[in-house]
Amino acid sequence: MPLLSLKKLSKSFDKTTAVADVSLDVERGEFFGLLGPSGCGKTTTLRMIAGLEHPDSGSIEFEGREITNLPAERRGFGMVFQNYALFPHLNVFENVAFGLRARHKPNPEIAERVKGALELVQLPGYEKRRVDELSGGQQQRVAIARAIAIEPALLLFDEPLSNLDVALREETRGELRELVTRLGLTAVYVTHDQEEAFALCDRISVMVGGRLLQTGRPRDLYEHPAQLSVGKFLGRNNLIRAMRLSSSKSALGEFKTLDGGHVLRAPVDEKNPLPLNQPCILAIRPEHVVVTKSKDEPENALPATVREINFSGATSSVKLDANGLLIEALALDANELKVGDNRTVVLPPERIALLKDE
């Protein structure tokens, strides 16, 4: 039984639909990510889980019990807000103790638990500080300490790292993941940052326009996007418009690209073949594109001319033109390449994902 399950949740504000028909399951001990561009409804979904918004339809179950109508204060879920929402009139100790006081815990126990929580987030001895004296990173940790001090049944994060600078964000990211794992907590984490979601989450749901497009492990989503919009949203991608040529029963199908007129081979799902002569999209990541000098590559080798080289530190992005078909490749070392060089571009079939044209 999943720990948390959302069943056909929908929510609209006035006339705009924020969340449409979202269903998902979060397993116990999982770090679950909701990833999507801003305004896609991921925060609304999180707020419905927290009990801060009431869904228009659908239900939320926790440990098999229906909690759709349970007010936020009875759910016992800890939440870390994007702007931290620390109480400005209370010091660090009282902020962390807030949830414990609301539960009428005895003072010695509160003191002990606050101390423990602050040590967990590496802020021991900060009890008497005012929250506005703290740096952004420290405020962030207080917010996390406050959420874990109540021993949350579920920990909810609403883009908690988006207000930190890049270096601090990456450091805190690692610490956050360790903390959640160590305490054996289950977390739902909302972010628009794909890298962050990949680094943190066990499983991710990609949300666009209020709908869940795909749920899966980060690597699966990256390599096998189920839909064009998922492929577009997650990282750079070469999206090649093509038509299926043959209906061969083999694992590899033949496609003719609309630009350049090349014939490419790509894996097809035998059980669910695309109709012939319908436009579709072949997607391949730039880092999987091979650029070579030799001309005798077995499959999917296209002669191409280098059009553009963009140096960006560790890698360079190389844009090539294969008879009108533009391909982007990622090269670790582009020293040998010059604009105007003739090369061979290889698109390894096992790296090509087949997507429906939307």
Partner 1 sequence: MKRLDPARFVEMRAEGAHRFLSAPPVREMNSLIFPRGFTSGYLRRALPTRIRTVYSMPPIAISPRRRVWLSPRLIVILTTAAVLVYGVIYPNFHVIVASLQQDGRWSLQNYAQALSQSIVLESIIASVGVSVLTVLFCAAVGIPLAFLFERYTFPARKVFATFAALPLVLPPLVGTVAFIFLCGESGILARLVQSALRLDHSPWSLRGWPALLLFHTYTMYPFFYMLTGAGLTRIDAALAEAGRSLGASRTRVLMRILLPQLTPSLIAAALLTFMTSMASFSAPLLFGGGVRVLTLEIYTARQRGDASLALTETVILAVISLSALFFFQRYEGTRKFASAALKGATKTRRAIATGRARLIAIACGVLFSLLLVLPVATLVLVSFAREGNWTTQTVPTAYTVANYVRIFSDPRASEVFLNSLSMSAIAAGAALVWSLSVATLLARKGGRRWKRLLSWLILVPWALPGTVVAVSLAEAYGQPSALLGSFILVGTFWILPVVYFLRFMPLVVRAVQASLEQIDAALEEAAASLGARWWQRFSRVTLPLVWPGALAGTLLAFVIALGEYVASVIVFVPTNRPVSIAIASELRDFNLGTAAAYGVVLMAMIGIIMTVATRLERRRG
Identify which of residues 67 and 243 has a Cβ nearer to partner 1 in the complex: 67
Asked if 28 and 3 count as a contact pair (C-beta separation under 8 A), the reply is: yes
Identify which of residues 103 and 295 has a Cβ nearer to partner 1 in the complex: 103
Residue 26 beta carbon to partner 1: minimum distance, rounded to whole angstroms: 12
Tokens of 252: 């590899």
Residue 156 beta carbon to partner 1: minimum distance, rounded to whole angstroms: 8
Residue 143 beta carbon to partner 1: minimum distance, rounded to whole angstroms: 8
- 3-class DSSP state for residue 131? helix
Terminal CA-to-CA distance of the chain, rounded, Å?
35
**166-182 vs 136-149: helix crossing angle, rounded to 10:** 20
Identify which of residues 170 and 259 has a Cβ nearer to partner 1 in the complex: 170
E-only strand ranges, 159-289 = 187-191, 203-208, 211-216, 238-244, 252-257, 263-267, 279-284
Interface residues toward partner 1, by CB under 8 A: 3, 28-29, 47, 50-52, 62-63, 65, 67, 69-79, 81-83, 85-89, 98-99, 101-103, 108, 111-113, 115-117, 119-122, 146-147, 150-151, 153-154, 156, 171, 174-175, 178-179, 181-186
Identify which of residues 47 and 265 has a Cβ nearer to partner 1 in the complex: 47
Alpha helices in 290-340 (DSSP H): none
Residue 184 beta carbon to partner 1: minimum distance, rounded to whole angstroms: 4
Identify which of residues 83 and 278 has a Cβ nearer to partner 1 in the complex: 83
Asked if 282 and 242 count as a contact pair (C-beta separation under 8 A), the reply is: yes
3-class SS shares of the chain: helix, strand, coil, % to 5: 25, 35, 40
Residue 314 beta carbon to partner 1: minimum distance, rounded to whole angstroms: 20
